[in-house]
Amino acid sequence: MPTFAEKVIHFNRNLSLDTDLPDGIKVMNPFRENPRALEISSAFYLKYYNDHRKRRLILGINPGRFGAGLTGIPFTDTKRLREKCGLEIQGVKSHEPSSVFVYEVIDAYGGVDSFYQDYYINSPSPLGFLKKSSNGKEINFNYYDSKKLQHLLKDFMVDSINAHISMGIITDVAFCLGSGKNFRFLKELNEAHHFFEKLIPLEHPRYIMQYRSKEKAEFIKKYLDALK
């Protein structure tokens, strides 16, 4: 019987999106575009998930360029990968504010070993999206910021969530990072497909770090109270 890690690695290796996207938006698939992402993420999952334990699911939005877009691991930039997980992608460095907050929560929870034996993090869309800004620079794009993209991705996201659950997810409760648009969409999706008995929203790490950083300790406590 495959371990949790082996199921995740298989999912990542075969991850693809076969649909036409709205003009100006392109998909970001680190496992196809960056071979090191599959290699290092596989090492990560084999380190923390190579067992048959059941875990609860935390859902973000979709991968960003400097976190999972580089490492293949949600909310994990290269700095946290090296300092907290003891793994490294040679020649690549990234710093993502969301990763800073998530790993402060993980530290407060008891560290990576304790946290990852209880929780698995992914996103309703496990692939990220990019669009060009007015100055021609590629920036992250959230699935819910385009109704057309959201509609095109719905079946893909339903299949992805079901795939995560089949890896060994406890479905009494799941956590949604993003208490606004992301939660509203996931709540509606959950009501239609009955993935989880309860869906708990938490403020997104990016929002906390960008707009409420002075209250970070309070948000860490809020996360811990919910997760524990």
Tell me the pLDDT tens digit for each residue of 110-127.
Answer: 999 999 999 999 999 999
Task: State the CATH architecture for 4-227.
Answer: 3-Layer(aba) Sandwich (3.40)
Within a 10 A sphere around the Cβ of 165, how many other Cβ atoms?
15
Identify the burial level of 136 via C-beta atoms within 10 angstroms of its C-beta, where 0-12 means exposed, 13-18 middle and 19 or more buried: exposed
Model pLDDT for residues 169-179, shown as the tens digit of each residue: 999 999 999 99
106 in Cβ contact with 44 (< 8 Å) = no
pLDDT of residue 204: 97
- Residue 53 identity (one-letter amino acid): R
pTM of the full predicted structure?
0.95
Model pLDDT for residues 16-46, shown as the tens digit of each residue: 998 899 989 999 999 998 879 999 999 999 9
Is residue 134 helix, strand or coil? Answer: coil
